[in-house]
Each structure stands twice: as structure tokens, then as C-alpha cells.
Structure 1
Amino acid sequence: MSKPPVTPARRKRVGTQLTPDAIIEASLCIAARGSADAFTVRRLGEELGADPTAIYRHFRDKDELLLSVADRTLGEVLDSIPDGLDWKGRLRALAAASLAVALKYPVVSSTMASRTTRRANEFRIVELILGAVTEAGLDGAEAAVHYRMVGDSLLAYVGQRAAYLLFDPDVRAGDESSWSREYRLVDAQGFPNITRLSAQLAEVTHDQIFHARVEALITAIERRAEAVRGA
């Protein structure tokens, strides 16, 4: 005797056997496809083959889900950082991994640029940065301030890059071509610096900007540590 076909209703009943991990993984799958609706219960229900309301059995609301998903992405960042690096190497590796994960899950990173997960992996990243600035020679309020400088700067930059990926490709193309079009056509008398450096402005890459920002953060920590030691 043949088995009865699996109807949508039957699939949905099976799909309601959810776990928090399954919901988080489904959110990440949607986010990795560049979708901006990774945290709508309707979209998650479709991804999981489940009644969307089943998600609320495991997460109080969409914000709790977002924070949990974001903290999972921070775990991916940490997993990419090799052991045995000095403080500068750890910060460089943290920056590179943060950017890579942000570009992998743009909707998560763009949303979390001004948030805090208050969860285990975020605590581990804070510990990593504090350890780095302490190894550099800072302590107390100086260590706290420079940790925030590093953390907030990385969040701002990777969040900006992630948010940009969510724009329509035509919008991005217009923005990217502006350096070789509109900026080259400005009035030379009114904008002498733009005119003088228009060719160089058009050649700047995202990688160059990111490298310069990370190295500037490291230099700022080094100089402050030198000043503290010399005080």
C-alpha cells in the first residue's frame, strides 16, 4: 500500500518541532542570501516549513531572536581568529573577520551596528579587545575608553559596509561611479582640493579604507600607551 502524499499541512506539523538553534540557523540562511526580511516570522515560517507563531515558543519577540542570531555571527568571527597572535595581530584578525562576517550576513550586521547582544560571544569579543589594549600597555579608564574606540569603530564601519549591500544594485552603481563622474565635474575654483585629487579619489578602494582605519586604531593605542608610560 502506497504512503499518503505529504501535504503542506503535514509538512507544517513536522516543521513545528523547532529548536532555538534551528530557528537561528534558518535566520542565518535567509540573511546569507542577502534578504532584508530575515527576522519576519512569516519569512522564517516559510524557511522552516512551520507555523510562524511557533517561533515565539522559543523567543520572546523578534528583537530577542535578532540578538541571538547576531551573537551567533560573533561566534563565527571568533572562530576565524587564530591562536598565538600578539595584540596587534589579534585586533587585525578581529577586524578582518568582523568585516567578512558582516558582508556574509549584511542584514544582521547593519541592524546590529548600534546594538549590543549582551550574550556570550559578545562578552568574548569584549574580553579579546580589553586583553589586547591591556597587553599594549593601557589599564583602567584608558583601557575601557580604547576598547570602546576599537569596538565602536569596527561596528560602525562593518555596519556601514553591510547596509550598503542591501541597496538596489543600480543605486550602488550610481554611488560608486560618482567619484569618476560627478566629482570630476565640480567647479575647480569652488572645490580646488576635490579637483586636485579627483583621480586619486576615484582610485580609493574599500580595502584601502578598511586597512587605514584598522592601522589608525592600532597607532592610536600605541601612542596613548607610550604617553601613559612616559607620564
Structure 2
Amino acid sequence: MVERVVPEGQRRRRRPTKHGAVLSERLIIETALRLVARHGAEALSVRRLGTALGADPSSLYRYFRNTDDLLLALADEFVGRAQQGWRPSGDWRADLREMGLRIHAVYLANPQVALLAAHRTTGRAHETAAVETILGILRGAGFPDPVAVRLYHAFVDQALAFAALDAAALALPAPAREADEAVWLAAYGKLPPDTHPNVAATFPLLAADMRDSGYPFALELMLDAAEARLRG
């Protein structure tokens, strides 16, 4: 793609696509999300999007400068979905917990897109709203601005890092994912206590816990540390 985006007021396509839909930024984003979920990163191309939309691929230039611009829109869409329906409770810890779990859950619902977008900074409307909201929670709780900024940074990076890690596991082909899960029984379950006493002693708990994401517990540890810092 080349950089020749048409101003927003001039974008609307007069004629429907071959599929009978009127081309729009929303339709392109939803179609791109669907394609990437099914086919991975290679689906994010002008040609494949044009085919799926029933439109001339060049018409996408009216909405996005290039495929990276579209990817940023997908990332911002996920941030927006995480905020849909969220309302502050007035309890800073509960609000941060819910926000973090929402971010994590949205990315895991579409792991292929998470692999492409979890590490990107969009500067778009949904992301800027999220930054404002999270900083507002922290400053409203009484954290000084330097601490609020550091906590914001750690909180968001933790949520997105776990989202990318867990999404990578979910995006594996089923045989590979099942093989990874079987390692805990096939390898760690057979380690003898004389050479690996700690693994042998904790193995039933270890094997059960490693089936799930470590994010909820890591989030609580971060909130514990933040609360201790606030009280101190």
C-alpha cells in the first residue's frame, strides 16, 4: 500500500461492493479481523482483503495508508473492545483488576491478531482513552504522578505481555499445543525425587497449575505491591 488516504468526509464509496455492502473503515476492520483469525498474518494483504470484501484492492487506500496502518487500527479495536461496558466502581484495585483481565481476555479471544498487535502503540482514540482511564484510576487512588506513570507502564506491559504469551500458545496447531501440555506428564512426572526433589514434591500442583494462564495471579501480585506502595 502507498500513502494516499482520502480525507474522512470523502471516503464513502458510492456503489456497493460485489457482495452488496458499502465499503467503510468498520467493514474493512471486521473483515481483516476475521481473515487473520482464520489464516494468520499472511491474510493481512491488500489482495486478500479486496477479494474478501468483493472490492478493488486499490479502494482500501482510501481508508488506510498501508497494511501497517490497518494493523494499528486492529490493535486499537482490541483496546476499544476491552473497554466496552466497563464502568468505574470507585475501588481503584477492583477497577485495575477488571481492566487488566478485560485486556487479556480480548486478545486471547483472537490469538492470531494478538501475536501481530499486542506490542503496538496506536495513538488512536481507543488507546488514548484507555491511557487516560488507567492514569485516572491511579491518580485518583492517591499515587503521586511519578509513581502513577511507572505503575501504568508496568500494568499495561504485564497485561499485554501475558496476552501475547498466552495467545502464542493458543495459536499453535492443535497437535503442537497438545504435545506441549503432555510434556508435564511425560517428562516432569517421571523425574525422581533423589535428583529433582522440588519438582517431585510439587508435581501434582505444578502440572495442574501450568494448564492455566499465570496472568491472574501475577496481576494480584502487582496490585499487592501497588497497594503496599500506596500505604507506605
2:93 corresponding residue in structure 1: 88
TM-score by length of structure 1 reads: 0.84
- Please tell me the residue identity of whatever aligns with 1:124: A
Could you list the runs of 5+ residues in structure 1 that have no partner in the other structure? 1-9
Deviates more, 1:58-67 or 1:46-55: 46-55
1:6 corresponding residue in structure 2: none
The one-character-per-residue Cα deviations of 1:149-172 (angstroms, maximum 9, x if unpaired) are 100000100111122221111100
How many residues are treated as equivalent by the alignment?
218
Aligned pair 1:52/2:57, yes or no? yes
Give the deviation of 1:186 after TM superposition: 2.8
Give the deviation of 1:30 after TM superposition: 2.5
Give the deviation of 1:89 after TM superposition: 1.7
Identity of aligned residues (%): 35
Give the deviation of 1:54 after TM superposition: 2.4
2:166 and 2:213 in contact (8 A); partners too: no
Cα distance change on mapping 1:61 and 1:33 into 2, 3 Å? same
Give the deviation of 1:207 after TM superposition: 5.0
Distance of 1:150 and 1:87 partners within structure 2 = 13
1:92 and 1:214 in contact (8 A); partners too: yes
Deviates more, 1:39-48 or 1:171-180: 39-48
Give the deviation of 1:115 after TM superposition: 1.6
2:115 corresponding residue in structure 1: 110
Counterpart of 1:218 in 2: which secondary structure?
A: helix
Cα distance change on mapping 1:198 and 1:205 into 2, 3 Å? closer
1:101 corresponding residue in structure 2: 106
Could you list the runs of 5+ residues in structure 2 that have no partner in the other structure? 1-14
The one-character-per-residue Cα deviations of 1:186-221 (angstroms, maximum 9, x if unpaired) are 354443222221111111156562321121111111
The one-character-per-residue Cα deviations of 1:69-119 (angstroms, maximum 9, x if unpaired) are 111121111014234342112112112211221122212222222221111
Q: 2:183 aligns with which of 178, 187, 201?
A: 178
- Please tell me the residue identity of whatever aligns with 2:142: G
Cα distance change on mapping 1:14 and 1:29 into 2, 3 Å? closer
1:28 and 1:38 in contact (8 A); partners too: no
How well do the aligned residues superpose, as a CA RMSD in angstroms? 2.4
Cα distance change on mapping 1:149 and 1:33 into 2, 3 Å? same
Give the deviation of 1:17 after TM superposition: 5.5
2:16 and 2:22 in contact (8 A); partners too: no
Counterpart of 2:214 in 1: which secondary structure?
A: helix
Cα distance change on mapping 1:205 and 1:187 into 2, 3 Å? closer
Distance of 1:133 and 1:50 partners within structure 2 = 46
Distance of 1:131 and 1:12 partners within structure 2 = 43
